[in-house]
Amino acid sequence: MIDIEAAWNFEDLQESERRFRALLGQCESDVESACVLTQLARVHGLQGDFEKARELLEEARARAKGEPSAATIRIHLETGRVLNSSGDPAAARPEFETAFALAEALEEEFLAVDAAHMIAIVETPENAIAWNERALQLASSAADPKARKWKASLHNNLGWTYHDLGDFEKALFHFQGGLQERLASGTPTTVRIAKWCVGRCLRSLGKLEEALTVQMSLAEDPASAEDGFVSEEIAECLYALNRTEESRSHF
């Protein structure tokens, strides 16, 4: 059985494409090859090549033959993502809803969480909270370890939704939850991002010294040394603390 998720490297889309094309040669059924084609479509969608993405999804549909399967779920998911990324979230929503219903019916936990989180993305902030909470509940109770790995992203999404709504306490709760998940199973890059989010939220809460400590610790990491987002946050914290001259070089 091919492992779709293991082939992804979101930091290197060209490498992801090479892996998926290699997987196509290993598929033992039309359903498996349709699943891989949906991921190639996603690669092209992430690169903004929506025409090629749609072409690959049509090929996936032909192989999936409309039968309820993981491939059918993924076709609806990736069709929705292409529609959303190309500027039509209203058309994307029914695709995500269909994917979610199919995933629940087929007990595809990973894909059910994915679909729920995509519905949240095309929803209003208030409704997005409900869908992200639903996705987080599904991920937390899932038997599939891949589904449980969604928790970090969902905490992050909820954190930013609450932050945008001005509820910084709830935002911090979720950013800290996301950081714990990243520390348990993330990459150095995702851990740094999660720490940055915690620091950013601390600044919104007016906890400037704590926020500055977080960002300064990131700046000491060689991997973050040239990170403009970290520098900007250090500058904002220093400026808010009336340390104007110190903030200049960071700005």
* Apex 149 CA angle, 117 and 121, nearest 5: 15
**144-202 confidence digits (pLDDT tens):** 999 999 999 999 999 999 999 999 999 999 999 999 999 999 999 999 999 999 999 99
List pLDDT tens digits, range 75-126. Answer: 999 999 999 999 999 999 999 999 999 999 999 999 999 999 999 999 998 8
Comparing CA positions, the residue from 148, 240, 228 lying closest to residue 202 is 240
Pick among 1.25.40.10, 1.10.10.10, 1.10.1060.10, 3.30.70.1060: CATH of 150-251: 1.25.40.10
- Could you give the residue range(s) of every CATH 1.25.40.10 domain in the chain? 1-136, 150-251
C-alpha dihedral over 98, 68, 157, 89, to 10 degrees? -40
Q: Give per-residue pLDDT as tens, 219-251.
A: 998 876 678 999 999 999 999 999 999 999 999
Q: Is the pLDDT of residue 71 over 90?
A: yes
Mean pLDDT of the chain: 96
Secondary-structure class of domain 1-136 per CATH: mainly alpha
